[in-house]
Structure 1
Amino acid sequence: MNSLAPAPTLSPDQADAWDSLAETFGAAGIDIIAEEVQPAEPGKGRVMAVIGKAGSGKTLMLSMITKALLASGVDLISPDYEGRKRKDRRSVAILAPTNKAAFVLRMRGVPATTIHRILYTPVYDPQYEKIAEWLTGTGERPVIEGLTDVALDRAKAFYDQHASIPGALANAGLRGSDFIRGWTRREEGLDVGLIDEASMLDEKQFEDLREIFPVLVLFGDPAQLAPVGQSGAMVFDRLAAPQRLILNRIHRQADDNPILDLAHALSDDRLGFDEFESMIRAAARKDDRVVWAERVESDLMSRSPVLVWRNATRIRLIHAFRTAFGAPGDALLPGEPLICDGLELPLKHRKKRIDLEARGLIKGAQVVYLGPGRKPGFSRLHVIGAEDPRLSAASIVKIEMPDEDEPFIPYAARMGAAFLHGAAVTIHKAQGSQWPQVQVFGPDISAAAWSNRAEAGVQLWKRLAYVAITRAQERLFWITKARLARPSGPLGTADLTADAAPLALENDEA
Structure 2
Amino acid sequence: MSTDPETTPEATPPGTDPEASGAPSPREERAEADTEAGAGAEQEAETGAEAEPDADTGAEPEADADTGAEPEAGAETEGGADTGAEAGPEPEAGAEPEAGAETDTGAEAGAESEGGAGAGGLSEAQAELAAQRVERERIARRKAEREHPVDAGGKLSGRAADLLAAVRAVESGAKAPVPTFDEAPAAPRRAAAPAPPQPRPQAAPARTVGDVAAVRAVLARGGAPEALAGPAAEALGEGAAERLAEDPWLLLAVPGVRPTQADGFAQALLGPAAGPADARRGAALLDWLLARAAERGHTALEAPVLEKALAQYGVPDPAGTVEAAIGDGAVLVFHEPLGEPVAEDEEQPVRVLVGLEEHALAEESLADGLARLAATFTAPADWSAAASGPGAELVRAAAGAGLVTHSGGEAARAEPLALAAAARELGLRTVLAAHAPAPGAVTVADLLAGAEGPGRDADGRFELDLLVVLDAPQLDVGTAAALVESVPDGARLVLSGDPGVLGSAGPGRVFADVLAARAFPHVVSRTPDPGPIGELVSGIGIGELNQVDAPGKEVVIVPVRDAGEAVHRTVQLVADSVPRAFGVPAEAVQVVTPGHGGPAGTRALNAALKERLNPGPGRFRGFDPGDRVVHVPAPGRAVPARVVSADAEGLHLDAAGARIVVPQDRVESRVRHGWAVTAHQAVGSRWPAVVVVLPGDAAQTLSRDWVYTAFGRAERHLSVVHGVEQALAQAVAQVPPKPRTTRLTALLRTLAAAQQEQA
Question: TM-score per shorter chain, which class?
Answer: 0.5 to 0.7
Paired letter, 2:556: V
Measured in 2, the distance between the counterparts of 1:470 and 1:229 equals 22
SS at match of 1:464: helix
Q: Secondary structure at the match of 1:243?
A: coil
Out of 655, 659, 663, the position equivalent to 1:390 is 659
User: What secondary structure, in the 3-state scheme, does the structure 1 residue paired with 2:417 have?
Assistant: helix
Which amino acid letter does the alignment assign opposite residue 464 of structure 1?
Answer: W
- Tell me: CA distance 1:320–1:2, structure 2 relative to 1, closer, same or farther (3 Å): closer
Aligned-partner Cα distance in 1 for 2:652–2:632: 17
AA aligned opposite 1:63: L
Cα distance in structure 1, aligned partners of 2:498 and 2:634: 29
Shift of the 245–425 alpha-carbon distance from structure 1 to 2, 3 Å rule, reads: same
Contact residue 189 and residue 211 of structure 1 kept, 8 A: no
Contact 2:687 2:715 in 1 (8 A): yes
1:202 and 1:343 mapped to 2: Cα distance?
13
Q: Distance in 1 between matches of 2:383 and 2:706?
A: 43
Pick one of 349, 370, 376 that aligns with 2:648.
376
Residue pair 1:336, 1:369 contacting (<8 A) in 2 also: yes
State the match for 1:146 in structure 2.
none
Change (3 A) 1:122 1:440: closer
Gaps of 5+ in 1: 25-45, 75-90, 124-163, 166-182, 345-361, 399-408, 410-416, 452-459, 483-510
Equivalence for 1:5? 386
**Cα deviation, residue 197, structure 1:** 0.7
For residue 287 of structure 1, report the CA deviation from its aligned partner. Answer: 2.5
Matched with 1:62 is 416
* Structure 2 match to 1:334: 625
Counterpart of 1:209 in 2: which secondary structure?
Answer: helix
Residue 434 of structure 1, CA deviation: 0.9
- For 2:442, the equivalent position in structure 1 comes to 113
TM-score (norm 1): 0.54
Alignment RMSD, CA only?
A: 3.6
Partner of 1:287: 552
1:314 aligns with 2:578: no
- 2:394 matched to 1:17? yes
1:212 counterpart residue number: 486
Secondary structure at the residue paired with 2:433? strand
**Structure 1 residues 18-62: Cα deviation after superposition (integer angstroms, max 9, x where no partner):** 3221112xxxxxxxxxxxxxxxxxxxxx4321112333x2x2221
In 1, are the aligned partners of 2:405 and 2:495 still within 8 Å (CA)? yes
C-alpha separation in 1, matches of 2:658 and 2:503: 28
The equivalent of 1:35 in structure 2 is none
Contact 1:338-1:423 within 8 A present in 2 as well: yes
Aligned residue for 1:93?
A: 431
| More strand per residue | 1
Distance 1:333 1:301 in 2: 18
Give the counterpart letter for 2:449 in structure 1: Y
- How far apart are the structure 2 equivalents of 1:370 and 1:283? 42
The one of 218, 222, 226 aligned to 2:499: 222
Give the letter aligned to residue 113 of structure 1: V
Using the alignment, how far apart are the partners of 1:268 and 1:121 within structure 2? 39
3-state DSSP of counterpart to 1:428? helix
The SS at the match of 1:305 is strand
CA distance, structure 2, for counterparts of residue 469 and residue 318 of structure 1: 20
Whether 1:238 and 2:567 are equivalent positions in the alignment is no
With normalisation by structure 2, the TM-score equals 0.37
Question: By how many angstroms is 1:6 displaced?
Answer: 3.0
For residues 200 and 262 of structure 1, the distance between their equivalents in structure 2, rounded to whole angstroms, comes to 23
Measure the CA separation in 2 of the matches of 1:397 and 1:184. Answer: 35
CA distance in 2, matches of 1:188, 1:6: 28
Q: Is the 8 A contact 1:199 1:225 kept in 2?
A: yes
Partner of 1:421: 673
The answer to whether the 8 Å contact 2:387/2:393 transfers is no
**Count of residue correspondences:** 311
TM-superposed CA distance for 1:236, in Å, is 4.5
Task: State the Cα distance separating 1:293 from its structure 2 match.
Answer: 3.4
CA–CA distance in structure 1, aligned partners of residues 609 and 644 of structure 2: 17
State, as a whole percentage, how many aligned pairs show the same letter.
Answer: 22
Larger helix percent: 2
Provide the C-alpha distance between the structure 2 equivalents of 1:329 and 1:72, rounded to a whole number of angstroms. Answer: 53
Contact 1:334 1:370 in 2 (8 A): yes
Q: Cα distance, 1:303 vs. partner?
A: 4.8
Q: Look at both structures and tell me which one has the larger radius of gyration over its CA atoms.
A: 2
The superposition leaves residues 206-231 of structure 1 with CA deviations (integer Å, 9 ceiling, x where unpaired) of 10111111432111110011113547
Residues 268, 95 of structure 1: alpha-carbon distance in 2 compared, 3 angstrom cutoff: closer
Mapped pair 1:190 → 2:467 = no
**Closer, same or farther in 2 for the Cα pair 1:442/1:185, shift >3 Å?**
farther
2: CA distance, partners of 1:245 / 1:3: 19
Provide, for residues 107-164 of structure 1, a one-character-per-residue CA deviation record: whole Å limited to 9, x for no partner: xxxx3111233223469xxxxxxxxxxxxxxxxxxxxxxxxxxxxxxxxxxxxxxxx9
CA distance in 1, matches of 2:395, 2:451: 34
Work out the CA distance in 2 between the residues paired with 1:439 and 1:389.
27
User: Partner of 1:217: helix, strand, or coil?
Assistant: strand
Q: Structure 2: how far apart are the matches of 1:116 and 1:229?
A: 14
2:526 equivalent in structure 1: 249
SS of equivalent residue, structure 1 residue 310: coil
CA distance in 2, matches of 1:268, 1:122: 39
* Structure 1 runs of 4+ with >6 Å offset: 183-186
After superposition, the C-alpha distances for 1:431-457 in whole angstroms (9 at most, x for unaligned) are 11111111111336x834x45xxxxxx
Matches within 5 A, 1:296-311: 296=570, 297-299=573-575, 302-311=587-596
